[in-house]
């Protein structure tokens, strides 16, 4: 039975049915959205699980749950700071010059030979500084001070790339060593030398004009100064090994001053030349191939050092050698025989010798022939009288 209220309000019943249908539709859409979200989460978990394979069990569970572990997050976000990068590469600014290099710099420079293994070079170039101070004072008629900045090892190609231009590169040859060296004069020293030699006033800086090539006068004056320096360099090496350094040519382009392979090691000596308020820098490069003929001498710790030589021991050894007993062999005759004839010899076989009583007998020690003489008899013993001496004292 239907109540009176139901019969009285049929529209309300229809509205309720429509609202319930709408609620069912909304609940169906919500369930469908939840199913899609669950499916997406499931796919994400599968993908993260595949990526996490091969890692620890805990990492795999965290990936399957869609949560990244703190340890993996810390490893992936770890970034080196600038100090750590510089230390790794070996470009630390606080790196002291005397300490060993580290990182990639140490690997790159591992093939270089340190000049400290040639201690005599410091003695030679200290002597060069003293000689140049006197020579350049006479050359310029001015108060010149020459100082040695440093001595370093470098690859030849790196040195050419580091030359500040404009500059003059003077190639010289060591005659006795049959190899070359390089002297680089920077622009400040060039203009200072020209200013001093041509009567420039003291107290005024040398005028420097950029963007133009060096004139013939400038090249000639610098060449004269290099000749003076090469004479001092020869004098500096004189106590160690006599050598003549000859000026070869002057270049302004580093490509034309190539005297060695770019990868070859060389020694660079940096000099500072001051003429009161003027001056500049000069660098000398000597490849290790140039110094190879005197390498044994450069290994000395002080001038005149003798390696492994002792005059007292030499005298004692010579006296003992004169008392040494040696065995001399007197050879009457010798002849060549075939191997078949030697094997055919039997007891009672005779070998005919061509020696006569007048034939010379050879006296030798081992394989060294010493004397020749004639054989005779003295009492009950055979004797040889020496006729000719075959060795020199």
CATH number at residue 185: 3.40.1550.10
Would residue 87 count as lying in a domain? no
132 and 278 inside one domain = yes
372 and 240 inside one domain = no
Task: Please identify, among 76, 107, 128, the residue that sits at the C-terminal boundary of a domain.
Answer: 76
CA 188 to chain centre: 30
Strands, DSSP E only, in 190-299?
Answer: 245-251, 265-275, 278-287
371 and 270 inside one domain = no
334 and 288 inside one domain = no
Would residue 95 count as lying in a domain? no
CB contact at 8 A, 183 and 170: yes
CA geometry: angle 364, 370, 376, nearest 5 deg: 70
| Model pTM above 0.85 | no
Would residue 303 count as lying in a domain? no
Would residue 292 count as lying in a domain? yes
126 and 216 inside one domain = yes
Task: For residue 180, give the nearest of 254, 245, 265 by alpha carbon.
Answer: 245
User: Which residues are CB-neighbours of 240 under 8 A, at least 6 positions away?
Assistant: 120, 124, 294, 297, 298, 303
Would residue 204 count as lying in a domain? yes
Q: Tell me, what's the pLDDT at 227?
A: 92
Task: Please identify, among 298, 317, 349, the residue that sits at the C-terminal boundary of a domain.
Answer: 298
294 and 335 inside one domain = no
Q: Tell me, what's the pLDDT at 57?
A: 46
Range of the domain at 21: 15-76
Q: Tell me, what's the pLDDT at 382?
A: 83
202 and 158 inside one domain = yes
Alpha carbon distance 295, 284 (integer Å): 18
224 and 335 inside one domain = no
208 and 346 inside one domain = no
Would residue 264 count as lying in a domain? yes
294 and 330 inside one domain = no
Q: Which residues, given as ranges, of the chain have pLDDT below 70?
A: 1-36, 39-40, 43-77, 88-116, 201-211, 301-310, 393
Would residue 364 count as lying in a domain? yes
DSSP of 107-153, one letter per residue? HHTTTSPPGGG-THHHHHHHHHHHHHHHHHHHHHTS--EEEEEEEEE
What one-character DSSP code corresponds to residue 228?
Answer: H
Would residue 380 count as lying in a domain? yes
First to last CA, the chain: 156
Number of domains in the chain: 3
Alpha carbon distance 214, 137 (integer Å): 24
160 and 257 inside one domain = yes
CA geometry: angle 369, 375, 379, nearest 5 deg: 130
- CATH code at position 369: 2.30.330.10
277 and 203 inside one domain = yes
Alpha carbon distance 253, 171 (integer Å): 12
């Amino acid at each position: 039975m239907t109540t009176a209220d139901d019969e009285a309000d049929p529209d309300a019943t229809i509205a309720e049915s429509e609202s319930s249908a709408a609620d069912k539709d909304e609940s169906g859409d919500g369930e469908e959205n939840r199913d899609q979200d669950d499916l997406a989460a499931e796919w994400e978990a599968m993908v993260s699980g595949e990526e996490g394979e091969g890692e620890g069990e805990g990492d795999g569970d965290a990936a399957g749950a869609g949560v990244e572990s703190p340890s993996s997050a810390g490893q992936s976000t770890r970034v080196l700071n600038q100090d750590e990068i510089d230390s790794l590469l070996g470009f630390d600014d606080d790196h002291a010059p005397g300490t060993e290099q580290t990182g990639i710099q140490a690997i790159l420079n591992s093939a270089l030979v340190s000049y400290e293994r040639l201690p005599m070079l410091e003695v030679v170039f200290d002597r060069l500084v003293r000689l140049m101070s006197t020579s350049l004072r006479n050359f310029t008629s001015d108060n010149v001070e020459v100082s040695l900045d440093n001595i370093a090892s470098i690859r030849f190609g790196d040195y050419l790339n580091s030359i500040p231009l404009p500059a003059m590169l003077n190639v010289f040859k060591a005659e006795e060593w049959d190899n070359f060296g390089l002297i680089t004069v920077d622009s400040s020293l060039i203009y200072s030398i020209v200013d001093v030699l041509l009567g420039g006033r003291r107290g005024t800086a040398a005028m420097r004009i950029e963007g133009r090539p060096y004139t013939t006068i400038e090249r000639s004056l610098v060449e004269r100064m290099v000749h003076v320096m090469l004479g001092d360099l020869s004098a500096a090496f004189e106590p160690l090994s006599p050598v003549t350094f000859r000026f070869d040519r002057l270049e302004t382009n580093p490509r034309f001053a190539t005297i060695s392979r770019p990868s070859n090691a060389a020694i660079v000596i940096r000099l500072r030349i001051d003429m009161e308020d003027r001056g500049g820098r000069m660098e000398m490069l000597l490849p290790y191939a140039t110094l190879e003929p005197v390498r044994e001498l450069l290994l000395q710790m002080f001038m005149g050092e003798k390696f492994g030589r002792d005059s007292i021991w030499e005298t004692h050894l010579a006296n003992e050698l004169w008392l040494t007993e040696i065995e001399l062999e007197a050879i009457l005759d010798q002849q060549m025989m075939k191997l078949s004839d030697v094997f055919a010899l039997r007891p009672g076989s005779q070998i005919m010798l061509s020696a006569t009583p007048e034939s010379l007998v050879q006296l030798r020690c081992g394989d060294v022939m010493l004397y020749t003489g004639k054989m005779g008899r003295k009492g009950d013993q055979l004797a040889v009288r020496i006729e000719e001496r075959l060795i020199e004292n």
